[in-house]
């Protein structure tokens, strides 16, 4: 679609809204919780996944929580799967052909974790199949990504070059401002920096 727009073709296509979507956030540490905090006010249902939910004090950050062993039941239900887990022996290669085959054909798979969490060859083979899935990647198993990597030109891949949190404190400030503004608005107040008129 982006290439067609750049070619000057006027496209009006339906797009999926965040409202009513179901997100599976694998890795529910500070980044995973931030993803949930940003998605939920827009009407997304967020299921967080972590190694253990016993004794966790942040369970209210998600609509539901599952352990890593419980993600198999959630995978085919998710519109968006966000990988925010650390790279460990257990998560290296987590997203392989078997994992991908359990996802919806129109899923959006986002990796803000580490590149080696995804088996790149399996991801490419899966994306090349007859499905409308999209991979949004900020990290790669080899960085910088080699010039000849098929990820660069793949039509179902959106990439950033490991800059998802770029800027000295910028992301943190922007996130905090957005959350504060949205909370003020949802509480019936007037956001401090709202667009006037």
Whether the CB-CB separation of 114 and 138 falls below 8 Å is answered with no
The tens digit of pLDDT for each residue in 10-44 reads 777 677 899 999 999 999 988 899 999 999 999 99
Q: 89-95, long-range: CB within 8 Å, 24+ apart, which pairs? A: 90/51, 91/27, 91/117, 92/116, 92/117, 93/117, 93/118, 93/119, 94/26, 94/118, 95/119, 95/122, 95/123
Identify the three-state secondary structure at position 64: strand
Which of 114, 131, 147, 192 is catalytic? The answer is: 114
Active site residue 162: yes
Six-digit token string for 46: 């967020």
* Cα 135 to Cα 91, 107, 110, 156, distances in angstroms: 18, 8, 6, 6
Residue 196 lies in a domain: no
The tens digit of pLDDT for each residue in 147-185 reads 999 999 999 999 988 776 566 777 787 788 888 888 888
Active site residue 154: no
Which of 16, 98, 143, 173 is catalytic? The answer is: 143
**Burial class of residue 147 (count of CB atoms within 10 Å of its CB; 0-12, 13-18, 19+):** exposed
Residue 125 lies in a domain: yes
Residue 73 lies in a domain: yes
Which of left, alpha, beta for 55 (phi over 0: left; psi -120 to 50: alpha)? left
Which of 22, 40, 104, 162 is catalytic? The answer is: 162
pLDDT top residue among 99 and 4:
99
Identify the three-state secondary structure at position 52: coil
CATH of the domain at 108: 3.40.50.720
Separation between Cα atoms, residue 61 and residue 126, nearest integer Å: 31
Sheet with strand 157-159: strands edge to edge:
64-67, 45-50, 22-26, 80-83, 108-111, 134-137, 157-159
The tens digit of pLDDT for each residue in 41-93 reads 999 999 999 988 776 666 789 999 999 999 999 999 999 999 999 999 999 99
Residue 79 lies in a domain: yes
Residue 175 lies in a domain: no
Residue 195 lies in a domain: no
Confidence band, pLDDT 50/70/90 cuts, at residue 7: confident
Confidence band, pLDDT 50/70/90 cuts, at residue 8: confident
Query: What's the domain count of the chain?
Result: 1
Domain enclosing residue 80, as ranges: 2-166
């Amino acid at each position: 679609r982006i290439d067609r727009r750049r070619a000057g073709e006027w496209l009006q296509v339906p797009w999926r809204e965040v409202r009513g979507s179901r997100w599976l956030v694998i890795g529910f540490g500070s980044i995973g919780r931030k993803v949930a905090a940003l998605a939920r006010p827009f009407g997304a249902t967020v299921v967080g996944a972590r190694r253990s939910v016993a004794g966790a004090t942040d369970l209210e950050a998600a609509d539901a929580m599952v352990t890593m062993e419980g993600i198999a039941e959630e995978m085919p239900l998710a519109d968006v799967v966000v990988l925010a887990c650390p790279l460990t022996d257990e998560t290296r290669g987590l997203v392989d052909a078997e994992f991908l085959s359990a996802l919806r054909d129109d899923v959006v798979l986002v990796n803000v974790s580490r590149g080696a969490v995804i088996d790149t060859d399996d991801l490419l083979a899966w994306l090349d199949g007859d499905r409308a899935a999209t991979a949004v990647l900020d990290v790669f198993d080899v960085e910088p990504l080699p010039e000849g990597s098929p990820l660069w030109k793949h039509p179902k891949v959106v990439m950033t070059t490991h800059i998802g949190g770029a800027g000295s404190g910028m992301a943190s400030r922007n996130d905090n401002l957005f959350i504060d503004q949205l909370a003020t608005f949802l509480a019936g107040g007037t956001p401090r920096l709202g667009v006037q008129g």
